[in-house]
Amino acid sequence: MADARLQAELVETKAELQRFRERVSAGTPTVHKDLSLISLVPKWSGLENVIPLEEFLTTVETSARICFWDETDKLQIAALRLIDAARQFYRGCLELHSPDVIW
């Protein structure tokens, strides 16, 4: 008798848990980060014969809005796209590597 009652409670609990999961998943849209546009962010060296810094930063910002990148993503992507003198400057500037650095 006790086993049957426990089995019934277990079945009801599992059903309730499934209903809860369905409600949570229905109310929360899933957002996926799209990293495919990283290639649209031009590499930037900081030299005079390349695109201006403002254009580089604008490209990162625009791509971020389209792809749902957060502040950390923008920082990492910008750092990844640096080359030559700009990359050396970034590597040598330890304050830019601090966890509290913001975009």
pLDDT in tens, 43-77: 999 998 889 999 999 999 999 998 888 999 999 99
Instruction: Please state the rounded mean pLDDT for residues 21-25.
Output: 76
Residues whose CB falls within 8 Å of the CB of residue 103, separated by 6 or more in sequence, listed in order: 71, 74, 75
Written as one letter, the residue type at 1 is M
Residue where the block lists tokens 């590499």: 43
Under a CB-based contact definition with an 8 Å cutoff, are residues 60 and 77 in contact? yes
On whether the pTM is more than 0.75, the answer is no
pLDDT digits (tens, 9 = 90+) for 73-83: 999 999 999 99
> 10: pLDDT confidence band, cut at 50, 70 and 90?
confident
